[in-house]
Chains A and B, each alone.
Chain A
Amino acid sequence: MAEIVTLSEAVAATVNDGDVVAMEGFTHLIPFAAGHEVIRQRRRGLTLVRMTPDLIYDQLIGMGCARKLVFSWGGNPGVGSLHRFRDAVTSGWPLPLEVEEHSHAGMANRYVAGASGLPFATLRGYSGTDLRDQTANVASVTCPFTGEILTAVRALNPDVAIVHAQRADRAGNVQMWGIVGVQKEAVLAASRSVVTVEEIVDELEPVPGQVVLPSWAVSFVSLAPHGAQPSYAHGYYERDNDFYVSWDEISRDRVAFTDWMQRHVLEAEVAR
């Protein structure tokens, strides 16, 4: 059964220095509040896993939390580059960042394998690309039935998965809807999980297209209203596209970035 605790308690109980941490949410429901709590708790040496690092990992990387990034598309959607990610890769600031990259299909299938309790997944992918030479986690496999050569990707089994959802009930069952990305797979693939939610309700009313994570598949649920901002929570608030555009300027400069993080994350008022 999921325990309902504060976000700071949930992060303290699940995320250790050096852990492999996946914070998922495909453009939608990105767990920013939880990411900021990880920054405030000054976790170090993390291997950060996420299909689209987005601003949340730009922030964690720029604040020195990460040792390694596993990802498939590292840009600011519709805007341009992630400057903290680029600075870490090309100049080692604030720390050198090891990179392991995949395609979206590869990452998605790695989570599926992890959630399925399988050591790998198969797909038609990576063939002919240089991506496969840069990681030991992609290989060829021969189909035992047809003899066809396919691509195998190693399962992803993070130590911790952190996702955001719209609602949970008081027993800790979690409900999300809209674009649901790979959140379910990430939670089921991980050893421990934290789900932040917009609200905790008595009863989860069904919603079309919903994904429900049963309480017993989740470690901790924490209330974090607006916990996805500047990403969004379908049915609650919209994506703050203006912020995504303004991040380009904020993050371009090391000092401006550090100053922004100091004011908006490290010194932020947090409900405990």
Chain B
Amino acid sequence: MNGWNADEMMTVAAARQLRRGAVCFVGIGLPSTAANLARATHAPDVVLIYESGCLGAKPSRLPLSIGDGMLADTAVAVVSVPEVFNYWLQPGRIDVGFLAAAQLDRFGNINTTVIGPYDAPKVRLPGAGGAPEIAASCQEVVVVVRQSPRSFVERVDFVTSVGFGQGAGDRAKLGLRGNGPRVVITDIGMLEPDPTTCELTLTHLHPGATISQARAATGWELAVAADVHETPAPTDEELAHLRRLNATIDK
């Protein structure tokens, strides 16, 4: 198989996070692609929950929006939006939530609201959507974000969704019942929270990436694990399924 690009590596790494039978809250874009890739490869029984109220959707092609009709057609159940958040997400029935970020800090707090001051933003982003409660209530969260000094910042301009707040113990204090970010997947590697401090720590580098590259792409003094592993490159099978899926968007 030909070489792969950073998006493909990120998507494959995200798909691998989903174990068999996992119930997964998926947003549109890379998370939806990753979850469907997992379904096509190692985890055919992964359960996809779309915030439009489609529980157990099994799309045969990638949807452009979280509310495409195909998701309702293939779902085990279609429920209202209040129900998907109140009955399914809030009580902790969802194992894994995928989140994206415009900015992220060392404790995995996420900004998808504004760049710059709230009252005079430089860039107005789409906002919260389902993310704050996904971050709060899923058993665990997988964050997928490209790593650069602009996205990996010392302090996010706005806390849209909480990772570990100011550090260990904050989630419990805030009444957040899920465990928070388990891994942050970037185009360079993967970061996991330190078991004691909850600070994101570089634990994996994708093939070809270096620690100095990861440091240069981080807006704070990056913690690096004593033993950094190399992410296994995408397999031929993973790439073939991924490219087949990507060719189906909006068709």
Residues of A near any B CB (own CB < 8 A): 26-28, 51-52, 71-75, 77-79, 81-82, 85-86, 89-90, 101-105, 108-109, 111-112, 123-131, 134, 148-150, 178-182, 184-185, 209, 211, 232, 234, 238-239, 241-242, 244-245
Contacts and interface: CB of A to CB of B under 8 A. Distances in A.
B132 A73 contact: no
A79 B64 CA distance: 8
A197 B198 CA distance: 52
Given A123-B86, A124-B90, A239 B68 contact: yes
A108 B53 CA distance: 12
A158 B159 CA distance: 28
B121 interface: yes
B65 interface: yes
A128 B174 contact: yes
A112 B90 CA distance: 15
A127 B172 CA distance: 11
B175 interface: yes
B28 A78 contact: yes
A72 B72 contact: no
Contacts of A242: 250
B21 interface: no
B161 A129 contact: yes
Given A73-B129, A130-B113, A179 B90 contact: no
B69 A232 contact: yes
B170 interface: yes
Nearest to A125: B133
B159 A184 contact: no
B54 interface: yes
Contact of B128 (A124, A131, A150, A181): A131
A81 B170 CA distance: 33
Main secondary structure of the interface of A (DSSP, over half): loop
Contacts of A79: 64
B143 to A, nearest CB: 16
Contact of B78 (A101, A112, A179): A179
Given A129-B159, A130-B113, A102 B128 contact: yes
Contact of B28 (A77, A102, A109): A77
A179 B85 contact: no
B165 interface: yes
A130 B160 contact: yes
Contacts of B186: none
B153 interface: no
Contacts of A179: 52-54, 67, 69, 71-72, 78
Interface in B97-147: 113, 118, 121-124, 126-133, 136-137
- Say what secondary structure dominates the interface of chain B: loop
A25 to B, nearest CB: 9
A226 B80 CA distance: 23
Interface string B49-71: 00111100000000111111101
B225 interface: no
Nearest to A150: B175
B219 interface: no
B65 A244 contact: yes
B128 A72 contact: yes
A72 B131 CA distance: 10
A84 to B, nearest CB: 11
A213 B5 CA distance: 50
Contacts of B86: 105, 108-109, 112, 123
B232 interface: no
Contacts of A211: 80
Nearest to B159: A130
Contact of A124 (B68, B77, B137, B158): B137
A102 B126 CA distance: 11
A79 to B, nearest CB: 8
A127 B82 contact: no
Contacts of B67: 26-28, 77, 179, 239
B81 A104 contact: yes
A86 B124 contact: yes
Contacts of A124: 90, 133, 136-137, 175, 177
Nearest to A104: B130
A8 B133 CA distance: 39
Nearest to B129: A73
Contacts of B124: 74, 81, 85-86, 89-90
B82 A128 contact: no
A75 B126 contact: yes
Contact of B127 (A74, A77, A150, A184): A74
A140 to B, nearest CB: 10
Interface string B77-93: 11011100110011000
B64 A128 contact: no
Given A101-B128, A125-B133, A181-B81, A27 B118 contact: no
